[in-house]
Structure 1
């Protein structure tokens, strides 16, 4: 009996303990500091940050292709760095814009658009997100042509894992509509997002970005649909484009959050990339003071270890750009070195890592300078009022003044700006050449925009890269091929895009890139 009593007491105690353990079970086992959702304003910031890539390797499409195609920065090396230097398809680097924007930027920004579209308290965030979404899709379609658009980045939202590819013509017309509606929809009397990393919630600046981006998108259509182009150029100007460098869309960096192009070149690729001869020669020939802000040469260096501060010169007179069409062996032959007056391939001019590519150097998306130069072209075409020469001069001045944003040592003095402008007025007999060549200079380090406007305008006039093992059928690379991963997971839709657009090669032109 005693044994049974002890057993019964033990059982009751156990049940009591179990009952006590269950008390407030859900509260105790809920992690109150692990978020299950993020504020859309923070997700928006992530989409803006990711547009300048997640690490140095993400910039290799710019470094190996876009900068080289437009002959501003080149590498003589092959293997993992092969690209525009040899006019070859390097399948490791051509997908990098695709991967970053679909996997990161658009995944974030589409989520923001979806979560704010019906929120009356966040209309400004919604319209700002639409503008950034349009900017992101512009980069993708300019780079690859036909792409997933209407069904893109909706895997989590609508479970669309094999999105169809939309024709670039359809994409551009919708982008213009989106920019028109979103820019007009921004309202300074409504709630703003003060945590906005780009403009701190300044609605007026977001409007100017939207309309300036609309101007850029409209000018893409100059060859294929000038009527639509003129319509939206007119709307952009009426809406209000950027008015000064204070309106620039710029990603600022710090010692902790780096400029990833600068980070990559200051680390593993420090001795591998050089300013190309066509770019250096253009700046030298025209006594352009920007060369002193952009370039450095380690005079007499015979190897990477000799690229030291004591050899560094930013004097424009001594800069020597690396010629196109060589690899690291052929550019190092005695005849070539003697022809260019350098001691070795390491003696050619590079981008200055202490100014425009220091670790905390800013990166620009859309600028007042670019906007003024596009207005200059629009004025030449008779699409806007105002004097083309005035827009032209303001665009050049704005870019020269923009140099100060990189570093105090990169700032250009007022007398140098005035002297350059006086020596380079707009000549209406060659206005499109002059304007778009200045756009080429003003867009330095903005790879996607350099590549797009070069194809769109046909300027500057560059000689074909003469490297003998070229894989392209035209004089220049015209687009990036779709990633191999797409043919594995989305083959039917890829094939439909190829059938409509043309072969999946470096030579196929996108819709707006007509001869």
Structure 2
């Protein structure tokens, strides 16, 4: 695991303020001498958003895995060859180094800070709010890593001085601990306390929004455990709903990108000057067959038609539909957690356990929210009438519609797919042998771990049943 911390002030242009002095001239412009927690938080938020948003084939191929897109010429990743570009190394680095280590450093700075006399009365509440926000982001990121790999370094992961070769913790134990931490963090947040202010790109220091985020994250974690630990799952979901989850798109947790470089949308950066991606036939055909009005937002047309290429096969950029205008807009925000996602979790909780309302009504709300996200709200009622909730096969109803709705949240879509087993995606015939004819259900551990942390890597690989694309995450038991 990397031992350095990504330093941020020189990287994010919108953080740079002040005038240059003689001391600045003699200082390393790429080092942080007196780093404050705010820029570390901002950088961590951007890196987290960049990871879950980017379609860069070196680090996030879930748009390909979920068959939303396929590649034009170099189709390795569409065929699940993630080793050619060392994708797992980059995913590991993105989350452990760029996100978690910066968050950890920010929390250390906050904990060590000695307030002035004038600050002493208000500092404890502000400190607790800041630490809780950082911890919620850590929990979100660790869940991504568990859901991607299974057992991972956790308790020893961020203490590189004491544990340069960290052990791997059991994924099930990590989940249990994350749920406990998120509950505690939500309770620590104080509406009257201070926070990070504009250094918090997600919510600009709005504690009420962070409370909803924490409860919505609890809901997400609880739903993930539905098949493997129903008791803990229901308890967690009930507490999340009681505490207050997202209630509208106004609660969405997003990172707003800027028009100017270097803070443009990572989707835009991967599409504006390259013709690497075209529409995947799987989703295009599904949307065409179901008269889905969102297709005009998801994809461009080819002489009035929407055409997707067979997954894994190369295709000419001009012969097939491309991504819609959102992908070519430099300010398209990165989505961390959305109301639409939460609405589908609520529908699933109701379908499973009768929690929170009638499942059909919650299903309708979730589908409508997705249509609204894509400026197609007027078409939602007719679509729902043609595709009503099916109580006899609720996993199909929710799974397929969540797959369509999570088009721009492909990491989340992969979780719905693995948990509900819908849609029933078919691996391309050209997929690499390691996929065993299946759509991958996990990423393999980074090769870098096998060479630098070999003993712990080997133990973890054996514990999960083999370091393979086909090894299921502990909660994926169906």
Compute the TM-score of the two structures, normalised by the length of structure 2: 0.86
Residue in structure 1 matched with residue 86 of structure 2 by the alignment: 92
Larger radius of gyration: 1
Q: 1:511 and 2:474 equivalent?
A: yes
Residue in structure 2 matched with residue 153 of structure 1 by the alignment: 158
What CA RMSD, in Å, does the superposition of the two structures yield over aligned residues?
2.6
Task: Please identify, of 212-221 and 90-99, the stretch whose mean Cα deviation from structure 2 is larger.
Answer: 90-99
- Tell me the distance in 2 between the aligned counterparts of 1:285 and 1:426: 18
Residue in structure 1 matched with residue 267 of structure 2 by the alignment: 261
Residue in structure 2 matched with residue 116 of structure 1 by the alignment: 110
CA 1:281/1:244 → structure 2, altered by over 3 Å: closer, same or farther?
A: same
Residue in structure 1 matched with residue 277 of structure 2 by the alignment: 273
Q: 1:229 and 2:247 equivalent?
A: no
Q: How does 1:252-401 map to 2 (within 5 A)?
A: 252-256=256-260, 257-268=263-274, 270=275, 272-299=276-303, 315=304, 318-326=305-313, 328=314, 346-352=318-324, 354-401=325-372
- Tell me the distance in 1 between the aligned counterparts of 2:142 and 2:151: 11
1:443 aligned counterpart, secondary structure:
helix
Residue in structure 2 matched with residue 131 of structure 1 by the alignment: 136
- Tell me the distance in 1 between the aligned counterparts of 2:451 and 2:434: 24
For residues 375-405 of structure 1, what are the alpha-carbon distances to aligned partners after superposition, in whole Å with 9 as ceiling and x for unaligned?
10110112513111121111112122222xx
Find the partner of 1:68 among 37, 59, 64. Answer: 64
Deviation at 1:450, TM superposition (A): 1.8
Q: How does 1:178-217 map to 2 (within 5 A)?
A: 178-195=181-198, 196-217=200-221
- Tell me the distance in 2 between the aligned counterparts of 1:32 and 1:507: 47
Residue in structure 2 matched with residue 77 of structure 1 by the alignment: 73
Residue in structure 1 matched with residue 7 of structure 2 by the alignment: none
- Tell me the distance in 2 between the aligned counterparts of 1:486 and 1:452: 24
- Tell me the distance in 2 between the aligned counterparts of 1:492 and 1:465: 35
Compute the TM-score of the two structures, normalised by the length of structure 1: 0.80
Residue in structure 1 matched with residue 42 of structure 2 by the alignment: 45
Gaps of 5+ in 2: 1-22, 113-122
Deviation at 1:211, TM superposition (A): 0.8
Find the partner of 2:438 among 475, 479, 491. Answer: 475
For residues 245-292 of structure 1, what are the alpha-carbon distances to aligned partners after superposition, in whole Å with 9 as ceiling and x for unaligned?
000011111222111122112223x2x211111101111111111101
2:193 aligned counterpart, secondary structure:
coil
For residues 426-480 of structure 1, what are the alpha-carbon distances to aligned partners after superposition, in whole Å with 9 as ceiling and x for unaligned?
1212222111211112211223212222112211122332226532225221211
Residue in structure 1 matched with residue 10 of structure 2 by the alignment: none
1:274 aligned counterpart, secondary structure:
strand
Aligned length: 441
Contact 1:379 1:386 in 2 (8 A): yes
Contact 1:95 1:480 in 2 (8 A): no
Deviation at 1:76, TM superposition (A): 4.8
For residues 164-187 of structure 1, what are the alpha-carbon distances to aligned partners after superposition, in whole Å with 9 as ceiling and x for unaligned?
111101111111111111112111
Deviation at 1:102, TM superposition (A): 1.2
For residues 143-177 of structure 1, what are the alpha-carbon distances to aligned partners after superposition, in whole Å with 9 as ceiling and x for unaligned?
1111111111222xx44211111110111111111
CA 1:487/1:457 → structure 2, altered by over 3 Å: closer, same or farther?
A: same
Gaps of 5+ in 1: 1-26, 300-314, 332-343, 404-410
2:216 aligned counterpart, secondary structure:
helix
- Tell me the distance in 1 between the aligned counterparts of 2:297 and 2:432: 34
CA 1:187/1:474 → structure 2, altered by over 3 Å: closer, same or farther?
A: farther
- Tell me the distance in 1 between the aligned counterparts of 2:373 and 2:411: 19
Residue in structure 1 matched with residue 17 of structure 2 by the alignment: none
Contact 1:324 1:465 in 2 (8 A): yes
Residue in structure 1 matched with residue 417 of structure 2 by the alignment: 454
1:250 aligned counterpart, secondary structure:
strand
- Tell me the distance in 1 between the aligned counterparts of 2:232 and 2:111: 27
For residues 101-132 of structure 1, what are the alpha-carbon distances to aligned partners after superposition, in whole Å with 9 as ceiling and x for unaligned?
11210111122233335772311111111110
Deviation at 1:98, TM superposition (A): 1.0
